[in-house]
Amino acid sequence: MVGIGRLCAFAAAWSSAVAHTVITYPGWRGNNLHTNGTLPQFNPDTVGIDTYENGTHGFPFGMQWIYPCGGMPLTTNRTKWPVGGGALSFQPGWFPGHSKALVYVNIGITEPNMQAPPNYSHPVVPPFQIVGPTNTYYNGQVCLPQVRMPANLSLQVGDNITIQVIETAQHGAALYSCVDVTLVEPEEISEDPAMEVTPQNCYNSTNIKFNKMFTTSDITSAGVASYTTSTMILVSALTFSMISLL
């Protein structure tokens, strides 16, 4: 697990050179910003992850394209997170030409007698769109100060979960990053200086804006179609202006 101190410096160093996602709080499963192997234009048989005879792997499209956690295995060096939910911060990063993306945050639960989550089917944040200032690389970070656990889950102190952050680009491809955590009492977080939420590890950059997502229903009556719109998400904890996604 990559520590918070290293993550802040790492994210700053990579922000101008890499177009992928880095989770800066509460931690990060590991550096999966790698692209290696034979590029698809030279190897039409590649499936995104190539296994070589010596047992190593190649990621010609990049590791972060690989579900569920960007090609990174589960870590045993977990960080702590409040049992009722806590802060989450990440640096989105972009490929040139992708100034917009949808963001999803899910959790996977390591059940008793299991070594890893069987799935990541528990959304903890409604999906939202982020909009960057340019279609080229840019700096910036997103902070969700209070991500709460779903009410229908009976999570306990000591449970192991994995937080999954998905960034879906304009062309439909998804980037995956994860952080493995053990749930603890909130007091244990506040008493640990290394885990304290600060303006340095959880903040919102002014150059990133947020769009609402809506669901629409078509109602046809007497041959005339009318449309009703209901708000699907509003990230009220963030201070940026919300622009309707039409």
Whether 133 maps to a domain, the answer reads: yes
Above pLDDT 90, what percent of the chain? 46
Whether 213 maps to a domain, the answer reads: no
| Number of Cα atoms under 13 Å in the Cβ half of residue 97 | 2
The Cα 147–Cα 140 span in angstroms is: 20
Number of domains into which the chain is organized: 1
Task: Look up the CATH number of the domain holding residue 117.
Answer: 2.60.40.1710
Other beta carbons within 10 angstroms of residue 49's beta carbon come to 15
Above pLDDT 70, what percent of the chain? 78
Whether 168 maps to a domain, the answer reads: yes
Question: What strands, in cross-sheet order, belong to the sheet with 85-91?
Answer: 22-25, 85-91, 142-148
Give pLDDT, residue 4: 53
Q: Which domain holds residue 19?
A: 4-201
Going from the C-alpha of 179 to that of each of 13, 100, 244, the distances in angstroms are 20, 23, 31
Whether 154 maps to a domain, the answer reads: yes
* Ranges of the chain whose pLDDT falls below 50: 8-19, 218-219, 221-222, 225-246
pLDDT tens across 212-233, in order? 777 766 445 445 544 444 444 4
Beta-carbon contacts of 14 under 8 Å, excluding residues fewer than 6 positions away, are 22, 33, 93
Whether 13 maps to a domain, the answer reads: yes
pLDDT tens across 12-41, in order? 444 333 447 889 999 999 888 888 888 888
